[in-house]
Structure 1
Amino acid sequence: MKKWILGVIGGSGLYEIDGVENGRWERIESPWGPASDEVYRGTLNGIDIVFLPRHGRGHNISPTHLNFRANIDVLKRCGVTDILSLSAVGSLREDYKPGDFVMVDQFIDRTFAREKSFFGQGVVAHVSMAHPVCERLAHMAADAADLLDVTVHRGGTYLVMEGPQFSTLAESKLYRQWGCDVIGMTNMPEAKLAREAEMSYATIGMVTDYDCWHEEEDNVSVTNVLEVLKGNADLARATVKNIVEAMTKMDRRPTDQGIETGLDFALITPPEARDSKLLNKLDAVAGRVLK
């Protein structure tokens, strides 16, 4: 039975959690290139935890230029079993208000300038993304946030746009017509790559604004996003602590969704036709099925 190792992707201040023991920054090399930053590793209540600042310390990498493959690869190399993503999102619903937390359960991927798979020319694989979020981890995250002074919405569809510009008014209205609940720039292809790497993944969307569709609210700006995020920083850290506390009380068993074995029937290229260079790069994310 695998032990819990929690990976957290989010703002650069998330690692500043009281009680982390043996905390240290480590650079993990990846064949997919440099990750956003070093990882901050430590132990919290006996649970190994690995933090990765998504945009780097100092927020110097735009969403389009994030090396998502390297980020997921280095977490896999650290032994991470479960990834919690904390992300700023805009609300596309009246009742999802700035300051609220949303436990996302679906995505619509509208990005177009990013590498979205570890597989490709030489080793082809197709994983199921019907249910892109780990239900167990999402439930644990929602329960952890419920213990705090924050409104928690269980479920929501996250429209992932390319950015870095915010939406036009026409786009914002269109996404509302599609039934999307929140909008952001960062969780795709992050969730797809986590599934390819057979790692549980869940997202807490921290609502910062109403995008630009709401006639009675200011249009989204960096200023109001940062203001709300600053107010939510302590809540985000407390949520992580509460998830870790829950992990100390239960064994980590395989998920009912079969996430840990997602590659069993995904590889379509026969062994004799696989590209050796790509196979070498896949040693961490797909090593279980390629040995």
Structure 2
Amino acid sequence: MPVDTAKKKVNRVNTQTTKMALANTDETTRTERARAKQGIDAPTAVLVGATGGLGHALARLLAAEGFRIVLAARREQNAAVVTDRSDGSAIYLRADVTDPASLQELATAAFEHLGRIDAVVNLAGISPRKPLEDYTTADVDALMAVNVKGPIYLTQAFLPRLLKQSGGAVVVHLGGAMDGRVALPFMSAYAATRGALASYVQGANRELAGTDVVLSFFGPVPSNTESESPYFDMWRKMGVALCEPDVVAREILATIRQRRRAHVMGGGLLKMLTLANAVSPSIADAIGLRRFGKLIKEHSPR
């Protein structure tokens, strides 16, 4: 077959594949909206720790796409911003990711309200930036409680019912920027928790093979949110563009629909560092991680 003819054939196949993917996405959206009109058959999601800018953006998007939502957080006033504007599609339930009993109660109440659950999204997390010697016992305990124990307790609370229901579900845990294995300087203890989460999700999926339940590690990019605002200048100096929360929310929705086991946002420098670190950490250091360390140190509270 001539080379030009082969190229044209490949291009036609690629075009057809793209059209099929878009058609499948459109069909998924139409199906979800049709289910939404039927009330109880609408797609459902539980958002945990969804009280910040990203959580609000995700809740708005899911509501617009026909989801019925449970927002779970420690403080109701933060969730009220979303529930008050949801036209009845979202309710608030109190929950604390560091308290296993609280999460068991959340799971029971969420299933009672929603009937079935298609997605659980864990947005809770803390990320102190400090030199090695400045991490206190309280810092380390809090990091482990929220970033490591919390996802495990949350998964355990929902998993038995998710396995019993028909149709399966996805549990999405938000990790840090990149793949959870790139450890930035002056964020060492935090990086340890994200690496632990990535490994937990990977191991859990191997254990759940053959079921309809998937755990997902979602690595967002730095976002234009209030919680990240102290570090806007730092990211700018690093050459990392901030992403709007609505964009991150759409990526999370795609992860829910496609039930991805892992999805890491970011291109350019962040992608290069992630790939380089997987091959050789020293290469990642030379490309930019050492420079990142100096900038993080400048913007870290002492």
TM-score when normalising by structure 2: 0.31
Higher helix share: 2
Structure possessing the higher radius of gyration over alpha carbons: 2
Greater share of residues in strand: 1
Relative contact order: is structure 1 or structure 2 higher (C-alpha 8 Å, sep ≥ 6)? 1
